[in-house]
């Protein structure tokens, strides 16, 4: 009985890790393709839109 419960706990943990990896991959893909307004911290004041991952507040 003890071995069965420990195996179930490990399986639940592995499922959680799988969900975390999948969500992280989706977030990174979204940040690469989603464009926001220009980066306000650039000195050259380039008016073109930049991807979310290029903003200094985002740490991927």
Q: What is the mean pLDDT of the chain?
A: 82
pTM of the predicted structure, to 2 decimals: 0.63
What are the pLDDT digits (tens) for 29-49?
Answer: 988 888 776 655 655 555 677
Query: For residue 54, what pLDDT is reported?
Result: 74
Inform me whether the pLDDT recorded for 23 exceeds 80.
yes
- Reply yes or no on whether the pLDDT at 14 is more than 90: yes
Interacting residues of 15 by C-beta distance below 8 A, sequence separation 6+ = none
Res 52 pLDDT > 80 = no
* HEC sequence for the chain: CHHHHHHHHHHHHHHHHHHHHHHHHHHHHHHHHCEECCCCCCCCCCCCCEEHHHCCCCCC
Residue 19 predicted with pLDDT over 60: yes
């Amino acid at each position: 009985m003890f071995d069965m419960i420990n195996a179930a706990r490990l399986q639940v943990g592995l499922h959680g890790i799988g969900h975390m990896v999948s969500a992280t991959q989706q977030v990174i893909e979204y940040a690469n393709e989603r464009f926001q307004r220009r980066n306000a911290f650039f000195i050259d004041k380039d008016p073109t839109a930049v991807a979310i991952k290029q903003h200094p507040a985002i740490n991927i």
